[in-house]
Amino acid sequence: MIERIEQIRADGQAAIESAGSADALEALRVELLGRSSELTAILRGIGELPGEQRGAVGGAANRAQKQLEQALTERREELVGDELDRRLAGEQVDVTLPGSPLPAPGSLHLVNQTRREIEDVFCGLGYRVAEGPEIEHDYYNFTALNHPPGHPARMVQDTFYVDPASVDSARWDPDRHPASRPSARLGQERSEARPNLPPGPRDVLLHTHTSPMQVRSMELAPPPLRIIVPGSVYRRDNDATHTPMFSQVEGLAVDEGISLADLQGTLLELARAIFGPDREVRLRPHYFPFTEPSVEVDVSCFACGGTGSVGGRRDPLCKGAGWIEILGAGMIDPNVFGFVREFGYDPETVQGFAFGMGIERIAMLKHAVPDLRLFFEGDLRFARQFR
Ligand code: DAH
């Protein structure tokens, strides 16, 4: 009997030590120590043994039971430890690895890409980026930019006017705007003639160009000044080369001793940075109310290579000219400085240049986009070509 007990213990212990999982171990526990196990039967039967055997058999069976229990406990702990080690090894995270890439989150529209490209060029030249309000005073959009009364640019068909009463004053309040100084108030010359009048039907508009920020930024800081002003502008226009909303970047540099040569060098830098060394640039004399002298800057047409014709026919893009106008520019007219003289801009001592370009036009040239309207139709097949 004692030999049998020893056998059960030895076999049991060996089985326990080689058990590979918590489930296998539990099955062994039932088999070795459960109610219907051989060892339990032996322990139960001790009372029926002859007296002289009871002590030895009982002692051996109890010891065997304890040893098996101990072996089960030890093996269980080992298995739990192994499992933890295995899980830790499997779940190891290397925090120094780069993250897995996010699903493509979309991309910037070509207009915004081009705007940033232009901004980069001028930030590299020491310019600051400033933005102005889209709902603007006639004063900043026209008057202070030396548009005399009756100038064609003021004509109703070019400008979207805004009913001043319809503008949410929480979002647009002329008195709360930092640039809104008494002398620069809405319709200055009008209120001189008719003091204390609220803004009239033609005094508030959607800015037709980004140039109003020339005057606003000069009101905000004395010279020297170097800013560019990206923005959406609005005009009553709609055909293959004009849309009611388009984008511009304005530039303004004011200092003492600035000349037309500085303007020319700056625009050459821009043209080379955006279009590369192959594009030709041409400066033509022109007229703008707020610059004197004024120039128009052209870039050679990408569609016809500057010849004006494609396949023997007149190039429709440049209308046969071989050149496409990309921006207007010039030296700040002293009359404009006259409107901001009190802010440190004495026309006798400071000079400056300004320029304004259409962002879509530049993107069209650079990427051979055939129709301006493609920018605004929202067709993903177009947008995705410029990811
Ligand atoms: N504001 C003009 C326009 O929208 C463009 C322009 C021309 C801007 C000459 C300038 C400039 O700053 O000097 O047509």
Specify if 104 maps to a domain: no
How far apart CA 234 and CA 361 sit, in angstroms, is 15
How far apart CA 303 and CA 368 sit, in angstroms, is 7
Specify if 356 maps to a domain: yes
Range ranked top by mean pLDDT from 193-207, 282-296, 311-325: 282-296
Range ranked top by mean pLDDT from 22-26, 161-165, 232-236: 232-236
Per-residue 3-state assignment (H helix, E strand, C coil) for 289-329: CCEEEEEEEEEECCCCCCCCEECCEECCCCCCCCEEEEEEE
Question: Out of 199-208, 342-351, 374-383, which region has the weakest mean confidence (pLDDT)?
Answer: 199-208
Same domain, 218 and 340: yes
Specify if 24 maps to a domain: yes
Q: Which CATH number covers residue 313? A: 3.30.930.10
Same domain, 355 and 276: yes
Same domain, 255 and 300: yes
Percent of the chain with pLDDT over 90: 44
pTM: 0.67
What pLDDT sits at residue 191? Answer: 38
Closest atom of ligand 1 to CA, residue 291: 13
| Of 127, 147, 211, best ligand 1 pocket probe by most atoms within 8 Å of the beta carbon | 211
The verdict on the CB of residue 351 being under 6 Å from ligand 1 is no
Structure tokens belonging to residue 118: 């232009």
- Residue 331 CA to ligand 1 centre (angstroms): 11
Structure tokens belonging to residue 317: 């893009």
How far apart CA 329 and CA 353 sit, in angstroms, is 7
At residue 2, does pLDDT exceed 90?
Answer: no
At residue 171, does pLDDT exceed 60?
Answer: no
Question: Out of 115-129, 170-184, 238-252, which region has the weakest mean confidence (pLDDT)?
Answer: 170-184
Same domain, 177 and 229: no
How far apart CA 129 and CA 375 sit, in angstroms, is 23
**What residue has token string 């901001």?**
340
Specify if 305 maps to a domain: yes
Nearest CA to ligand 1 atom 4: 209
How far apart CA 220 and CA 214 sit, in angstroms, is 10
| Residue where a domain terminates, one of 169, 184, 205 | 205
* C-beta separation of 300 from 323 below 8 A: yes
How far apart CA 241 and CA 235 sit, in angstroms, is 12
* C-beta separation of 29 from 15 below 8 A: no
Same domain, 261 and 126: yes
What pLDDT sits at residue 282? Answer: 86
DSSP string, 74-127: HHHHHHHHHHHHHHHHHT---TTSPPPPPP------HHHHHHHHHHHHHHHTT-
Peptide bond between residue 293 and the one before it cis (omega within 30 degrees of 0)? yes
Question: What does the mean pLDDT of the chain come to?
Answer: 86
Same domain, 262 and 366: yes
How far apart CA 281 and CA 297 sit, in angstroms, is 7
Same domain, 213 and 240: yes
* Residue pLDDT, tens place only, 113-145: 999 999 999 999 999 999 999 999 888 999 999
* C-beta separation of 211 from 145 below 8 A: yes
For residue 200, name the pLDDT band (cuts at 50, 70, 90): low
- Residue 298 CA to ligand 1 centre (angstroms): 14
What pLDDT sits at residue 368? Answer: 84
Same domain, 334 and 382: yes
Same domain, 193 and 219: no
The verdict on the CB of residue 211 being under 6 Å from ligand 1 is yes
Going 143 to 145 to 151 to 155, the CA torsion angle's sign is negative
Per-residue 3-state assignment (H helix, E strand, C coil) for 163-224: CHHHCCCCCCCCCCCCCCCHHHCCCHHHHHHCCCCCCCCCCEEECCCCCHHHHHHHHHCCCC
Specify if 98 maps to a domain: no
Same domain, 129 and 250: yes
- Residue 185 CA to ligand 1 centre (angstroms): 22
Same domain, 257 and 379: yes
What pLDDT sits at residue 169? Answer: 60
Beta bridge partners of 111: none
Closest atom of ligand 1 to CA, residue 353: 13
Same domain, 130 and 241: yes
Specify if 72 maps to a domain: yes
User: What residues have CB less than 8 Å from 333, skipping those under 6 apart?
Assistant: 146, 289, 290, 291, 292
| Residue where a domain terminates, one of 183, 205, 227 | 205
For residue 100, name the pLDDT band (cuts at 50, 70, 90): confident
Specify if 100 maps to a domain: no
In total, how many domains does the chain have?
3
Residue type, 173: D
* C-beta separation of 249 from 117 below 8 A: no
Q: Write out the residue range of the structural domain in which residue 271 sits.
A: 110-134+207-386
Nearest CA to ligand 1 atom 7: 328
Specify if 212 maps to a domain: yes
* Residue pLDDT, tens place only, 28-87: 889 888 899 888 888 888 888 888 888 888 888 889 889 989 988 898 888 888 888 888
Half-sphere exposure at residue 199, Cβ-oriented, CA atoms within 13 angstroms: 23
The verdict on the CB of residue 234 being under 6 Å from ligand 1 is no
Parallel, antiparallel or unpaired: strands 281-288 and 291-300: antiparallel
| Residue where a domain terminates, one of 171, 188, 205 | 205
Nearest CA to ligand 1 atom 8: 356
